[in-house]
Amino acid sequence: MTDMIEDLKTAALRYHAEPSAGKIAIQVTKDCASQQDLSLAYTPGVAAPCREIEADSEAAYKYTSKGNLVAVITDGTAVLGLGNIGALAGKPVMEGKAVLFKRFADIDCFDIEVDADEPDDFVDTVARIASGFGGINLEDIAAPHCFDIEKRLIEKLDIPVFHDDQHGTAIIITAGLKNALELQGKDFANIKVVCLGAGAAGIASMNMLMAMGTPKENIMLCDRKGVVHSGRDDLNEQKQNFASNHTQRTLAEAMQGADVCIGVSGPNLIGTDMVKSMADKPVVFALSNPDPEISPADALAARDDLIMGTGRSDYPNQVNNVLGFPFIFRGALDVRASEINEAMKIAAVNALASLAKEPVPQEVCDAYGGTSFEFGANYIIPKPLDPRLKDFVSAAVAHAAVTSGVAKKAYPSHYPKI
């Protein structure tokens, strides 16, 4: 195992360093080979679009890359499983996010790392640079500051602002859960849910479940100290919202009779006895990476009526944000949405859930070693390399933006009819 870890580390460092440092670069999109080209690209010709934009800021979408440009921005306080490693140390992750935006949705990105100890400084920095972008993807910002930062930026800006660790995770979890519940003969309105992890992902996921019809009183949120309940005096605003009069105090107590357990916390925190105590036909999403809250082998050994999901690509039902954020932004940008609202998020959930029920093209099977996929307990959510994600998710998000009144452009004619 140690040798495998060292091999991965060596390969990853070489990948990032060779043949050139980093993972992204800027590409020139227009000819620049003659004096005439230079006079158009820069002075004196560039003055013409500048004057057009001065007269009408919307012209920036016509004459610059703004409409297809997203800023991926972090303060480095909650980077993957590495914690508060600082903005600069988080840059490889931000570059990686930019790679995924480009690879999956042909969206250009600048990664921006902001050294800011206070949310006020971070918000001020992002707000001042936002006008050059079509959207803002906030990334790896620790709770509870992430909630306040996103809310304030949404209020300040007229472009989509999306904290992927919150809403991207919530959308993918909810899409997978929608299909899992259908297979188990259950629905959002009548399930008892335990969420292990009360940070950005956990809070946003529970809010999304409520948007899909799960009553708040049916949700038990657990953090490092156990169940979040109204008798505690150490809760931030977001946790207080879920602090009902629960009598359970420990995770083990909360799991008794639960239909669903969502883990967005840390490794090996869920025991087999806890899984055995859940209701008939339960669903467990153990999403801690690289080591889940409980291994699929242990969970499935404890319950043969279980549907299991993890955050890992080497197990069935990988809950992976790349299924969401590239295509959500693609849809939002294509109709020039001013925000990514709840209707757009729910549309993404339903689109992902729907795609998993479609016959899987051979090219997707080939990309995963020839494995066949069919809707069922081991395939409740699409694969990231499915080329139909744009047609399903981006189109659904764009349509929802138009119908909910936050789009400045019509639904694109090249998208499928909805």
| 311, 262 contact by CB (below 8 A) | no
Contacts of 10 (CB under 8 A, 6+ apart): none
For 277, the token pair is 């105590």
Q: Which of 9, 23, 30, 42 is catalytic?
A: 42
Residue 368 annotated among the catalytic residues of the structure: no
Please tell me which residue in 66, 97, 186, 192 is annotated as part of the active site.
Answer: 97
For residues 136 and 126, is the Cβ–Cβ distance under 8 A?
A: yes
Cα angle 203, 206, 207; round to 5: 85
In eight-state DSSP terms, residue 359 is: P
Q: CA distances (Å), 330 to each of 31, 97, 156, 182, 289, in order? A: 26, 14, 22, 29, 27
Range 80-114 burial, b when 16+ CB lie within 10 A, else e:
eeeeeeebeebbbbbbbbbebbbebbebbbbbbbb
Pair of tokens at residue 298: 């242990």
Active site residue 42: yes
Question: Rounded to whole angstroms, what are the CA distances from 362 to 94, 371, 387?
Answer: 32, 9, 11
Q: Which of 191, 163, 164 is nearest to 177 (CA)?
A: 191
Q: Which residues are catalytic?
A: 42, 97
